[in-house]
Amino acid sequence: MLRILHLSLFCLALASAQSQPTQHIWLLGNTADIPSESPYWGQLRQELEQADKPVYLLIAGDIVPDCDGKQPPEAPVKALLELVRGLDGVRMGILPGDRDWANSGPKGWDCIREMEQYVLKHAPKNVEWLIDDGCPGPDMVEIGDNILLLALNTQWWNHPHRKPIPADAVCDEIVEAAIHEEIEDAIKENQERNVIITGHFPPYSLGKYGGYFPLSTHLLPPVVGGIYAAYHENVGNVRDISNERFEKLSDYLLGLSREYDNLIFLSGHEANQQILSYYGNCLINSGAPLSASYVAHNRLARLARAQGGLIQLHYATDGAVNYTFLRYTGDGFAADDTGALYQSPCQPDGSDIPVNQVKVPCLTLTGQEAGASTVPEKDSVRIAAGAHYAAGALHRLFFGPHYRTSWMAPVIAPVLRLDTAYGGLEVLERGGGRQTISLKMQTEDGRQYVFRSVDKDPVSALSYTLRRTIAAAITRDQTSSQQPYGALAVAPMLKKLNILHASPRLYVMPDDPQLGQFRSTFANMLGMVEERPTNGGKGPLPFGNADEIYKSYDLFHEMYDHPDVRLDTREFARARMFDILIGDWSKHEDNWKWAGFKKEDGILVRPIPRDRDHAFSNLDGFLPWLAERQWAVPNLEHFDYKIKSVRSLTYQARHMDRFLGVRLTREDWQQAAREVQQSLTPEEIGTAVRQMPGETYELSGKVITAKLTQRRQDLEGYADRFYRLLAKYVDVPGTNKKEYFYILRQPDGSSLVEIRQQKDSSLTYRRLFRPDETKEIRLYGLHGDDQFLVEGQASKAIKLRLVGGAGEDEITDRSEVKSGGKRTLVYEKNNDAILNLGAEGRAVNSWNEDLYYYDRTAFAYNTYFPLLLFSFNTFNGLMLDGGVTFTRRNFNKRDYSAKHRFGFQLGTLGNFTLSYNSELHHLLQKWDLLLHAFWAQPDNFNYFFGIGNGISYDDALFNNDYYLVRLNRLEGGVGLQRQFWKRSFFRLGLGYSQNEVPIEENTILSDTVTYFGAGKLDITHAKAALEVDLRDHKVFPTRGYRLHAGQEFGFMDGGQRFGVTNLFIEYFLSPRGYPLTLGLKAGYGTSFGDVPFYKLPQLGQNQSLRGF
């Protein structure tokens, strides 16, 4: 009893001590609004001097009011730096905002770099510029022992002008997918810490940049004010959250909040104070140091003030997180509001305030006391990888039998004893990954290992809106298409090919207290342990005793910057041919690491392929077969005896293959295929597959062996198909050093390309391109003052695109090509560049700045999408609707160059429709050319009841099809379209149509009244339409306006003419947070002249007020 009393007193004292804040974070944005001579600076410094320490002062952007592109104003930056100079216990972190980027102007990147240099030169030691060189981030900052700050440069997403791109080689991560993965990995790997994500822009706001305005804005003037508010809410200018550049990041960050717990988002864009609860997490904005602007109130708001001041966060070691709003009064600061953001998990009070679940001492103590070891005494246990993948016959028919029997079969697996395995393993942290649950561990000598679950959870690959739908359950079920033990068969084959690789071993993780906070997740889990390719540790490095281990994006960065970093291309080609052999369609950049070896002439890099979850993927079953079509999910390929689509199989690595394989010729790829064939005999393949548990060999191992043997036999043919995909359009980037590009056009139409370094004439690239393989060669100078020389004579030649990039380049074309027009297109923006383009060269002057810089991920395949539907209506009976859309892409149009849609309808009542619609995207700068053709026998018109308000309706006549009118139509047209504001457009069009309305007996048209348009009529028409779409969603709008104005002029053979005008406005309003939408519509239609009755404005159908 005495022992228990002592323990209780100890815990009480511990809880009391831990309830005191030990770290404070102060948030402040828009300091550009504080005059440099304002007393605010001295008053804020006084607050900092008197505050409990330590304090981290986060400046969340907009430090200067404007920048002319040369030098940002010095006074606002200096005042900020002097604020904390000499203050012990105070750190300051500075993030840039949109005003710091020259108000999102063309010189924004220059401004931000100048400001960064000023801060680095003049800042005291307790000030840090959080994100270098205008990069997007994330940069990770440790605050105290238990807080991790993920800093994002949100203006990188929002900036509409020049900003850092991958080829600039100034940023570590600059591909959005890689940025997202790094953010989520950081969240997963730091579940024992309080994680803060910060940027200047908030992901959601109750202020004007979030689309919230006072009622007076909506009403003064009426309608116009509402349209103004809807524009900012749903379309947005460069400062609004809804603008199309920032919207993707906003949606992604809000998705993180729905997916993870205990996140806090800090921002400073809005000139007000906000603390919002969002899916149990917190969105905090403080951007009004002096005066403030309007902020709305709703059920999300914990704090919403249009007052000057700043927000403080207080972190206690027991997990409690509280806030204080420090209001600025003019004479100083006053604590105006305080409250709890997260409760301590040590003493939760049962309220609706979320409990902080990070690792804290009280949880650690409880975990150790309850953590009696249940490590089995036996060295191995019998366990099934996934008994839950059992399925009935109907389920297997639609979703596939896959490898369900292998997942369900119990296997013998050894127990991973953490204290002895690999010399003893210490648990470090949870690992990242798209679908695998993993745990990082380390030995005493610094070698790192990872435990990867055999079972997967691929739901993270879905969008956040789908993760709580039936799509998530289906996606989880499709894990059964993966061979659970495939990695065990892959490793010995890689060893035979002399490719660096991990060698996984199958284990069961015991229920061991050494797992700490990860015990509940990993205890009794079946997984594989393999060595991680990392730098550090004692003794020889793993993976060939490499001098350096690179991530993919780090390697690309090095290759952009250093021409002496070169890839072992033969080994890379061999690795990729092996991927094709085993059907591994998931070899995106994150599934590779790279081993660097120092040589006399630079660094030789060898590939380390990893993550074999998708080797031998068995996509049988009707729905997986449908998803595997190239037009459906472009990266899926069923592991079969024959490969149907090499493009699908290599799709996820298409950008990496085009970049790293740019030196490889057809013979190189075929040689790599032969090396795989020679090293992996059928006997070797059989031996490798038998490394999987014996219990599963009869279930799936025999078939896998047979398929591998057949695919091995055909591998050279697949190598040829793969090469043709890569060779058709080739991007050849240089580096950021000064280089000499030499292109020799040869009489047979081939082109020899060489790249040499200007400093020593060393050859870094050489390849001969053949016209039957390659249609375009694109050479990129990147940075540096590069020289391009094109020479040679030919009857026909491969098209060249020379992209100078940054620097004062010199481009000369002395070649002669007899046919085919100008075959050298030059993209150069620098006014100091020297261009001698001769007879074959042409300088391209485009509004699209993206064309003038290298983008490794710009390439996209042409695609198509078929559609087949059944429908029914009273006019046509049972209908078969079908069609196909072809989307074409080229160098000049990165999103798409054209869309061609072919459609048809067939009805059981003998009617049919054929249609063609084409959009030639940005044909005239930002104007699209539209083409249209249509033939219908008959077209769907509607019931016709006559003209005017005095018409009558008779049920008996209606039932006898008296009012039924059919229109046969043949039409063609051409037009121009300018799209803007996301979904808005302006269109002009000309067209011609042949129309025929048969006059049938016992119908309204056979009556005594003659309606103009009955019979045959040929019409030449001119149309104009303007639509301004300010709704939040095109298909299911809940808020906003849509305005439409249309005008048609028609001209007929007899000199008759007509005009039809249609106007309407729609308004949608929904109470926020409730699934109820009010929709209002007002319209106006008028006509003049001799208007065919089927062109007249009318009521009814689904476009306006209800008619008969």
Distance (Å, rounded) from C-alpha 282 to C-alpha 267? 11
681 pLDDT tier (thresholds 50, 70, 90): very high
Question: In the prediction, which pLDDT does 1057 show?
Answer: 95
Question: In the prediction, which pLDDT does 1055 show?
Answer: 84
Half-sphere exposure of 559 (CA within 13 A, CB side): 24
Q: Considering 852, 867, 882, which residue would you say is the last residue of a domain?
A: 852
pLDDT at 685 exceeding the cut of 90: yes
Residue 894: inside a domain: no
Q: Which residues contact 274 (CB under 8 A, 6 or more apart)?
A: 202, 205, 206, 207, 283, 284, 285, 286, 295, 301, 303, 304, 305
Domain identity same for 732 and 706: no
Residue 60: inside a domain: yes
pLDDT at 464 exceeding the cut of 90: no
Ramachandran angles phi, psi of 952, nearest 5°: -115, 170
Query: Considering only CA atoms, which of 408, 417, 443 is closest in space to residue 534?
Result: 443
β-bridge pairing 877-890 and 410-414: unpaired
pLDDT at 369 exceeding the cut of 60: no
Q: Which residues contact 656 (CB under 8 A, 6 or more apart)?
A: 552, 587, 588, 589, 592
Domain identity same for 324 and 399: no
Q: How many CB atoms lie within 10 A of CB 921?
A: 21
Query: Quick one: what percent of the chain has pLDDT higher than 90?
Result: 73
Question: In the prediction, which pLDDT does 318 show?
Answer: 86
Q: Could you give the 3-state DSSP secondary structure of residue 996? A: strand
pLDDT at 371 exceeding the cut of 70: no
Domain identity same for 686 and 771: no
The answer to whether the beta carbons of residues 997 and 1006 sit under 8 Å apart is no
Query: Quick one: what percent of the chain has pLDDT higher than 70?
Result: 94
Distance (Å, rounded) from C-alpha 455 to C-alpha 447? 25
Query: Considering only CA atoms, which of 945, 872, 939 is closest in space to residue 1106?
Result: 945
pLDDT at 13 exceeding the cut of 80: no
Query: What does the block give as tokens for 170?
Result: 């100034």
pLDDT at 15 exceeding the cut of 50: no
Q: Please give the single-letter amino acid code of residue 327.
A: R
Domain identity same for 719 and 768: no
14 pLDDT tier (thresholds 50, 70, 90): very low
For 19-35, the pLDDT digits (tens) are 677 899 999 999 999 99
Question: In the prediction, which pLDDT does 359 show?
Answer: 64
Query: Considering only CA atoms, which of 462, 458, 588 is closest in space to residue 857?
Result: 588
Q: Which residues contact 392 (CB under 8 A, 6 or more apart)?
A: none
Find the helix or strand (DSSP H, E) in which 83 lies: helix 74-84
Mean pLDDT within 677-690: 97
Q: Which residues contact 852 (CB under 8 A, 6 or more apart)?
A: 803, 804, 805, 827, 828, 829, 846
Domain identity same for 509 and 404: yes
The answer to whether the beta carbons of residues 93 and 57 sit under 8 Å apart is yes
For 385-402, the pLDDT digits (tens) are 999 999 999 999 999 999
Question: In the prediction, which pLDDT does 366 show?
Answer: 44
Q: Considering 338, 364, 390, which residue would you say is the last residue of a domain?
A: 364
Distance (Å, rounded) from C-alpha 413 to C-alpha 415? 7
Residue 243: inside a domain: yes
Question: In the prediction, which pLDDT does 54 show?
Answer: 95
For 830-871, the pLDDT digits (tens) are 889 999 999 999 999 998 988 999 999 999 999 999 999 998
Least confident of 778-782, 966-970, 1068-1072: 1068-1072
For 928-948, the pLDDT digits (tens) are 999 999 999 887 667 888 888
Peptide bond into 138 cis (omega under 30): yes
Residues 832-840: contacts with CB under 8 Å, at least 24 apart? 832/808, 833/804, 833/808, 833/809, 834/808, 834/809, 834/810, 835/811, 836/810, 836/811, 836/812, 837/811, 837/812, 837/813, 838/812, 838/813, 838/814, 839/813, 840/790, 840/813, 840/815, 840/816
Peptide bond into 693 cis (omega under 30): no
Residue 909: inside a domain: no
Find the helix or strand (DSSP H, E) in which 559 lies: helix 552-561
Q: How far is the first Cα of the chain from the last one, in angstroms, to the nearest whole number?
A: 87
Distance (Å, rounded) from C-alpha 569 to C-alpha 577? 12
Q: Considering 852, 872, 895, which residue would you say is the last residue of a domain?
A: 852
pLDDT at 1043 exceeding the cut of 90: yes
Residue 359: left (phi > 0), alpha (psi -120 to 50), or beta?
Answer: beta
What residues does 566 pair with on adjacent strands? Answer: 604
Count of domains forming the chain = 4
Domain identity same for 360 and 408: no
Question: In the prediction, which pLDDT does 33 show?
Answer: 95
The maximal CA–CA distance of the chain, rounded, in angstroms, is 112
Residue 374: inside a domain: no
Write down how long the chain is.
1108
Residue 5: inside a domain: no
Find the helix or strand (DSSP H, E) in which 958 lies: helix 955-959
The answer to whether the beta carbons of residues 450 and 529 sit under 8 Å apart is yes
Domain identity same for 810 and 936: no
Q: Could you give the 3-state DSSP secondary structure of residue 321? A: strand
Between residues 881 and 462, the one the model is more confident about: 881
Domain identity same for 587 and 501: yes
The answer to whether the beta carbons of residues 349 and 320 sit under 8 Å apart is no
Domain identity same for 954 and 973: yes
Report how far Cα 686 is from the mean position of its chain's Cα atoms: 40
Mean pLDDT within 612-631: 94
918 pLDDT tier (thresholds 50, 70, 90): very high
For 953-997, the pLDDT digits (tens) are 888 888 888 888 889 999 999 999 999 999 999 999 999 999 999
β-bridge pairing 426-430 and 410-414: unpaired
Domain identity same for 356 and 428: no
The residue segments making up the domain with residue 323 are 20-364
The answer to whether the beta carbons of residues 24 and 54 sit under 8 Å apart is yes
Find the helix or strand (DSSP H, E) in which 1042 lies: strand 1040-1052
Q: Which residues contact 1078 (CB under 8 A, 6 or more apart)?
A: 1068, 1069, 1070
Domain identity same for 649 and 700: yes
Question: In the prediction, which pLDDT does 1054 show?
Answer: 80
Mean pLDDT within 83-93: 95
Question: In the prediction, which pLDDT does 429 show?
Answer: 81
β-bridge pairing 602-609 and 565-567: parallel
Quick one: CA dihedral 996, 997, 999, 1005, positive or negative?
negative
pLDDT at 1101 exceeding the cut of 90: no
Residue 226: inside a domain: yes
Distance (Å, rounded) from C-alpha 458 to C-alpha 930? 41
Q: Where are the alpha helices (DSSP H) in 478-530?
A: 486-496, 519-522
Query: Considering only CA atoms, which of 231, 174, 176, 178 is closest in space to residue 208?
Result: 231
For 197-223, the pLDDT digits (tens) are 999 999 999 999 999 999 999 888 888
Q: Which residues contact 1075 (CB under 8 A, 6 or more apart)?
A: none
For 71-86, the pLDDT digits (tens) are 778 889 999 999 999 9
For 1022-1037, the pLDDT digits (tens) are 999 999 999 999 989 9
Question: In the prediction, which pLDDT does 262 show?
Answer: 87
**Inter-helix orientation angle 715-727/702-713, to 10°:** 60
9 pLDDT tier (thresholds 50, 70, 90): very low
Find the helix or strand (DSSP H, E) in which 82 lies: helix 74-84
Residue 48: inside a domain: yes
176 pLDDT tier (thresholds 50, 70, 90): confident
Mean pLDDT within 896-912: 93
Q: What is the CATH number of the domain that holds 355?
A: 3.60.21.10
The answer to whether the beta carbons of residues 219 and 213 sit under 8 Å apart is no
Distance (Å, rounded) from C-alpha 561 to C-alpha 550? 15
Domain identity same for 458 and 595: yes
Query: What does the block give as tokens for 881?
Result: 């609707």
The answer to whether the beta carbons of residues 1086 and 1058 sit under 8 Å apart is no
Mean pLDDT within 649-661: 96
